[in-house]
Amino acid sequence: MARWVLHVDMDQFLAAVEILRRPELAGLPVVVGGRGDPTERAVVSTASYEAREFGVRSGMPLKTAVRRCPDAVFLPVDFPVYEAASATVMETLRTYPGTVVEVLGWDEAFVGVAVDDPVEAAHGLQAAVLEATRLHCSVGVGDTLVRAKIATDFGKPRGVYVLTKDNWMEVMGDRPTTALWGVGKRIAQRLDDVDIRTVRELAHSSEEALIAAFGPNTGPYLRNLGRGLSRATVDDTPWVARAHGHETTYQQNLTATDEISAAVRALSDQVVADLRSEGRACMRVHLKVRFAPFFTFTRVRKLAEPTFDPAVIAQTALELLAKLDDDRPIRLLGVRGEMVPPEGGYER
């Protein structure tokens, strides 16, 4: 028996959950995002496959989505319902015989299994999840986490796809580096600057050149990514959060100073509520500001001593904001509290 990594990813998760409770929506273009009002500043969280046929994608402004698909049904994001569905999915994966489960997000997880036939195991997981939740998922099978993760997209929807060292280069070699999990537009551009455009070119590139361009850590990491190499063992150590933050995009930009300080204080109060629920004090304050039209800045400051006091966090955030010395209208504010690490540090 060999060890395999399965990547389980729910199909159109939020839309699928909504369709479960409103079966009449089945087969229709459904868009879940914001408060469900496509005239507001908000983005698409999930679009059903029918909506995707009109070019609607997650991350897209609702205003754009409604233009592309005026007949779509727009629904508000309903966190508690998705959290409950997610918990059932993860519990189903954990109770499946012989699995080790590493949760990646609401709707996806790595599942480690030791079996002769990983495809059979993948089908078994799909059936178990379907039975428990009436929701469909796709499964990527790999010999590393990266390969399993990338494989899933080739299996969507409702399928299984196997990506291992045997077919990695054949499947991925000619694709652009952005096809890799962890390579976005910026890294792709920087790779392009050193004449690396495909996964194959990245895999065959010189380590020294990548270290020179990306540093001692990221350089080798990228080269390994091109080869499909990464951690191969699923780790079910419970996740310990590093920080908690809250941010808000304002329908009307903020300009008045009292408005801004009230907003910072409200966000700080929310952050402290999260920190208190974990019993871990704030040790660094992060401020994120998006000015109009679209300039984003983040600043961090370490506190003299850890605190649960929202006034201290708000005051620190306002000092960081004052330091930016930018009086453009603010469209988004975020306050994040980085927590004191647990004794012995983080395991993962």
Partner DNA sequence: TCTGGGGTCCTAGGACCC
Q: Which of residues 20, 25, 132, 187 is near DNA by CB under 7 A? A: 187
* Cα 9 to Cα 106: distance, rounded to the nearest angstrom: 9
Residue with Cβ nearer DNA (166 or 192): 192
By CB under 7 A, tell whether 63 contacts DNA. yes
- Smallest gap from Cβ 272 to DNA, in A, equals 13
Distance CA 156, CA 44 (A): 20
Q: Which helix or strand (DSSP H or E) is residue 249 part of?
A: strand 243-254
Residues 98-137 that bind DNA (CB under 7 A): 104-108
Neighbours of 17 (CB within 10 A): 22
Size of the site for DNA (CB under 7 A): 62
Is 108 catalytic? The answer is yes
* Contact of 48 with 30, CB cutoff 8 Å: yes
Residue 231 or 302: the one with the smaller Cβ distance to DNA is 302
As measured in angstroms, the least distance from the Cβ of 267 to DNA is 8
Q: Could you say whether residue 176 binds DNA (CB under 7 A)? A: no
124 within 8 A of 74, measured Cβ to Cβ: no
Residue 110: what are its φ and ψ, rounded to 5°?
-90, 140
Catalytic residue among 108, 120, 170, 201: 108
DSSP H helices, the chain, are 13-21, 49-52, 62-68, 79-95, 118-133, 145-155, 168-172, 185-193, 199-203, 207-226, 257-278, 310-324
Taking CB under 7 A as the rule, does residue 219 contact DNA?
A: yes
Applying CB under 7 A, does 290 fall inside the site for DNA?
A: yes
Stretch that binds DNA, among 130-138, 156-164, 228-236, 327-335 (CB under 7 A): 327-335
- How many whole angstroms separate alpha carbon 26 and alpha carbon 50? 9
The answer to the question of residue 276 lying near DNA (CB under 7 A) is no
Q: Choose between 21 and 185: whose C-beta lies nearer to DNA.
A: 185
Taking CB under 7 A as the rule, does residue 247 contact DNA? Answer: yes
Question: Are the C-beta atoms of 95 and 106 separated by less than 8 Å?
Answer: no
User: Is 329 a binder of DNA (CB under 7 A)?
Assistant: no
Give yes or no for a contact between 274 and 308, defined as CB atoms under 8 angstroms apart.
no
147 binds DNA (CB under 7 A): no
Smallest gap, in angstroms, from Cβ of residue 283 to DNA? Answer: 9
Q: Per rule CB under 7 A, is residue 274 in the interface with DNA?
A: yes
Is there a binding annotation on residue 327? no
Residue 227: name the closest of 201, 209, 191 by CA. 201
Nearest approach, Cβ of residue 310 and DNA (Å) = 15
Asked if 144 and 150 count as a contact pair (C-beta separation under 8 A), the reply is no
Q: Which is nearer to DNA, 115 or 179 (CB)?
A: 179
Tokens of 160: 């299984």
**325: annotated binding-site residue?**
no
Kind and range of the H or E run holding 58: none
195 — alpha (psi -120 to 50), left (phi > 0) or beta? left
Tell me whether residue 157 or residue 215 sits nearer to DNA (CB atom). Answer: 215
Interface with DNA, residue 218, by CB under 7 A:
yes
Instruction: Candidates 233, 242, 257, 262: give the one binding DNA (CB under 7 A).
Output: 242
Reduce the DSSP state of residue 307 to 3 states and report it. Answer: strand
Dihedral angle at the C-alpha atoms of 78, 81, 84, 89, nearest 10 degrees? -90
> Is 60 an interacting residue with respect to DNA (CB under 7 A)?
yes
77 vs 130, beta carbon nearer DNA? 77
Question: In whole angstroms, how close is the CB of 320 to DNA at the nearest point?
Answer: 7
Nearer to DNA, 97 or 293 (CB): 293
Read off the DSSP letter of residue 242: S
Question: Where do contacts with DNA occur on this chain (CB under 7 A)?
Answer: 34, 41-43, 45, 58-61, 63-64, 67, 104-108, 149, 180-188, 190, 214-219, 241-249, 274, 284, 290, 293-294, 297-302, 320, 323, 331-332, 334, 336, 346, 348
- Active site residue ranges: 108
